Amino acid sequence: MSGRLVHVGSAVVDYVYRIDALPAPGTEKTASSYARVAGGGFNMMVAASRTGMQVAFGGQLGTGPDGDFLRAALAAEGIATLTPPSPAMDSGNCVAMISGDAERTFVSWPGAESVLTRDMMAPIKPAPGDWVFTSGYTLSYPGSRDALADWIAALSPEIPFVFDPTPVIAEIPRQILNRVLARTTWLSCNTNEAAEIAGAGDAQTVAVRLLAEHCPKAAGVVIRAGAHGCLVRLADGDTRAVPGFAVHAVDTNGAGDAHIGAFVSALSRGLSPWEAARYANAAAALSVTRHGGSSAPTGHEIQEFLALRDQATAARGEGREATT
């Protein structure tokens, strides 16, 4: 495999509570389980790392118990940290409430990951063959977005840059968002985020507008649609809907991260965008069958999952032939 994934984003500590349903205002719920786990950008990095890509973290970690927890989690996954810790504050955290329908509700508190300056980013030196990624969360923070947008704009043209606007896209100033989109090589977003950028419409229409009006240098865009899979449109106009996989979901937290991490990892190995999208759909499908945001599968698990699906499809085809 060529190069690394250099993730210049935000990692936080998730405090995860599982409940049957969200409490009504002014009432209380008792959780059925609780966990303290690494989250935020950690989930995407784990997805890429577990599928064989070398990963380095270029965001900011704090000094304190949450920063220490994240450093240990990154080290356990073999992910290098490129920047020194912030001496001024601890890393942020997020309370995640996972309800019985597998949906999640978040309340976050920004920490060291919300402050990023060009001096802090000086140790981050992407090399030819590397891939760079950032998310809308880091661009939504007033203390990091200007420096990060400048840094992205100055990236060498041969470095592929992948961007996920995330659900906080409305909190990113439009001039910052436009600058980042103008440098984006691959945009991966869900249907709501795509519409926030390019306006309402069916996925193919929105994808056309994303490339024509917002991402002029992009190789392609991926519009994720959960269990339905994703739509991939390339700069040359080639467009395909790549079906998802039906599974029993228990926790959708981190599914988008698993998809993006697996997609970038697959592209870096030379898979076509269509093959990479199917691989990513499988990664996301497996991730929602497990509890926890950093539940991304390994490359071996994805290949095994796809092989079993292919066998089942072939068996159904043979069955139809036998009855004709």
pLDDT of residue 316: 79
User: What is the per-residue pLDDT across 28-63, written as a single tens digit (0 to 9) for each?
Assistant: 999 999 999 999 999 999 999 999 999 999 999 999
Per-residue pLDDT of 275-287, as tens digits, reads 999 999 999 999 9
DSSP for 144-174 reads THHHHHHHHHTS-TTS-EEEE--TTGGGS-H
Residues 6+ apart with CB under 8 A from 323: none
Three-state DSSP state, 322: helix
| Residues contacting residue 162 through CB under 8 Å, at least 6 positions apart | 131, 132, 133, 184, 185, 186, 187, 188, 260, 264
The percent of residues in the chain predicted with pLDDT above 90, rounded, is 87
CB atoms within 10 A of CB 103: 14
Q: Is the pLDDT of residue 203 over 50?
A: yes
Domains of the chain (ranges, CATH numbers): 4-22+31-312 (3.40.1190.20)
Among 200, 201, 197, 192, smallest CA distance to 226 is for 192
CA-closest candidate to residue 10, choices 60, 48, 46, 51: 60
DSSP codes, 42-72:
HHHHHHHHHTT-EEEE-S---SSHHHHHHHH
The answer, yes or no, to whether residue 1 has pLDDT greater than 80, is: no
SS3 call for 133: strand
> Which among 153, 165, 210, 186 has a CA at the least distance from the CA of 264?
186
The answer on pLDDT for 98 being more than 50 is: yes
